[in-house]
Amino acid sequence: MSRTVMVVDDDADILDMTRLVLEGGGYRVLPARGGQEALRTLEEAVPDLILLDINMPDLDGWQVLRMLKVDEKTTAIPVAMFSIKMEVRDKLHGMQEGAFDYIAKPFSCEELLSRVKRIFETLGRGVPA
C-alpha cells in the first residue's frame, strides 16, 4: 500500500521536483500551491504525511501548522516543515508548534526520500510496497 504525502509549497518548481522525487520513491503525492489550497484539499483527502513550506503568501506554514494541530481531523497527521530557513530557532519553533520534523531546502533526492522513509518508520507506518 502506497503512503500519501501532501507537499505544500508556493514555488511551482520545488513542488514539481518534490512530487517527482517522492513518486519515484513509491509515494502518492497530493500537491498544494499554498496554505489555503492545502486546507481545501484536506477537507477531502487525508495524507499520511505533510511537507509544509514556511514562506507562503496566503497563509504561512506556521499558520497552517497551528490550524492542523487544533483540528481533530488533521491533528494526528505528522507534519515536516519544509523550508530554506535553517536556523536552529526556526527548527525549535517548528517542534514547539507540533511539527514532527524539519527538512531543509535545497535537498538532495536521496536525502528527501531517506527523511520521509525515516518519518514513516519512526511512526510505525512502514514504507511504500
In a domain, 56, yes or no: yes
The number of folded domains in the chain is: 1
Q: pLDDT by residue (tens digit) across 12-27?
A: 999 999 999 999 999 9
Q: Collapsing DSSP states into helix, strand and coil, what is residue 114?
A: helix
- Looking up residue 46, the CATH number of its domain turns out to be 3.40.50.2300
Residue 11: domain span: 4-118
In a domain, 127, yes or no: no
Beta carbons of 22 and 114 less than 8 angstroms apart: no
| Mean pLDDT estimate for the chain | 89
DSSP-derived secondary structure for 19-82: HHHHHHTT-EEEEESSHHHHHHHHTT---SEEEE-S--SSS-HHHHHHHHHHSTTTTTS-EEEE
In a domain, 17, yes or no: yes
In a domain, 125, yes or no: no
In a domain, 123, yes or no: no
The whole-number average pLDDT for the span 99-123 is: 91
In a domain, 69, yes or no: yes
In a domain, 72, yes or no: yes
User: How confident is residue 129, by pLDDT bands cut at 50, 70 and 90?
Assistant: very low
Q: Are strands 49-52 and 101-104 parallel, antiparallel or unpaired?
A: unpaired
